[in-house]
């Protein structure tokens, strides 16, 4: 299959990655559609080919947000770390089941992540964890929620992870955890409902994280236009 980096994909056609997906193409409450080539979510990229790397850079990739622990990042290094064309940051999001969105340490890390986004606002940013499910899913939820994407679409974006992870036989054999594949809707619904019930909106939540209204508006415009 010939890959064309200027196209607007839903899931990117990668040779050695199964869960590299766009946040573009979703309807928002204000009647717009989220913009392609702004944010990508994915699993660990350690095994991607040189052709995959070239395709991502031609697609517009300019920054990587690695949400894994320091240990994970050492064992399974990100192939773009040290690449002059792509900025890289490792911001570990600690998980215990579904993430504790109220934890001070968690908010501090989100603050760091969103300032990396602000510092690289013009490029295509990819964020990932190991499977591209929970840590990645929560950041995707926050970005999509801020852009005005419906709860149903946010949950569906999380759920489909299971379908794509099943293709990665190596992941299942190495980790031996079928549970790692699952992306049950109630897991992301719990995180979504927590933000809405306690903060009222994703904008207010990000203000609680420490971002200004101007910064939040800039991030929202990057995805929602």
Neighbouring C-beta atoms of residue 29, cutoff 10 Å: 10
In the chain, which ranges are E strands?
Answer: 21-22, 39-42, 61-66, 87-90, 124-128
Judged by average pLDDT, the poorest of 64-68, 86-90, 186-190 is 186-190
Give the per-residue pLDDT at 212: 98
Quick one: pLDDT at residue 204? Answer: 97
In this predicted structure, what is the pLDDT of residue 225?
87
Max mean pLDDT range (2-6, 63-67, 178-182): 63-67
Pick from 110, 99, 42, 117: nearest CA to 76: 42
**What pLDDT shows up at residue 173?**
45
Q: What are phi and psi of 61, to 5 degrees?
A: -55, 125
Report strand pairing: 39-42 vs 124-128.
parallel
Distance, CA of 64 to chain centre: 10
Predicted local distance difference test score (pLDDT) of residue 47: 92
d(CA 116, CA 210): 14
pLDDT averaged over the chain? 90
pTM above 0.85, yes or no: yes
**Position 86 confidence tier, pLDDT thresholds 50, 70, 90:** very high
Contacts of 159 (CB under 8 A, 6+ apart): 183, 184, 185, 188
What's the mean pLDDT in 18-43? Answer: 96
Confidence of residue 65 (pLDDT cuts 50, 70, 90): very high
């Amino acid at each position: 299959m010939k890959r064309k980096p200027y196209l607007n994909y839903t899931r990117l056609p990668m040779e050695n990655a199964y869960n590299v997906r766009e946040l573009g193409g979703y309807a928002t409450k204000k009647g717009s559609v989220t913009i392609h080539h702004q944010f990508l979510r994915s699993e660990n990229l350690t095994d991607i080919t040189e052709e995959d790397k070239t395709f991502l850079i031609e697609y517009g990739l300019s920054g990587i947000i690695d949400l894994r622990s320091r240990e994970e990042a050492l064992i399974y290094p990100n192939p773009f770390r040290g690449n002059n064309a792509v900025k890289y940051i490792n911001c570990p999001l600690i998980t215990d089941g579904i993430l504790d969105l109220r934890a001070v340490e968690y908010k501090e890390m989100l603050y760091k992540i969103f300032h990396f986004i602000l510092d690289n606002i013009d490029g295509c940013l990819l964020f990932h964890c190991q499977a591209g499910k929970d840590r990645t899913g929560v950041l995707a939820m926050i970005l999509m929620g801020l852009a005005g994407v419906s709860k149903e679409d946010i949950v569906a974006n999380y759920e489909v992870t299971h379908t794509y992870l099943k293709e990665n036989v190596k992941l299942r054999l190495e980790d031996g955890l079928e549970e790692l594949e699952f992306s049950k809707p109630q897991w992301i619904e719990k995180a979504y409902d927590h933000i809405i019930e306690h903060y009222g909106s994703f904008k207010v939540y990000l203000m609680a994280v420490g971002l200004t209204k101007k910064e939040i508006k800039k991030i929202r415009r990057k995805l929602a236009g």
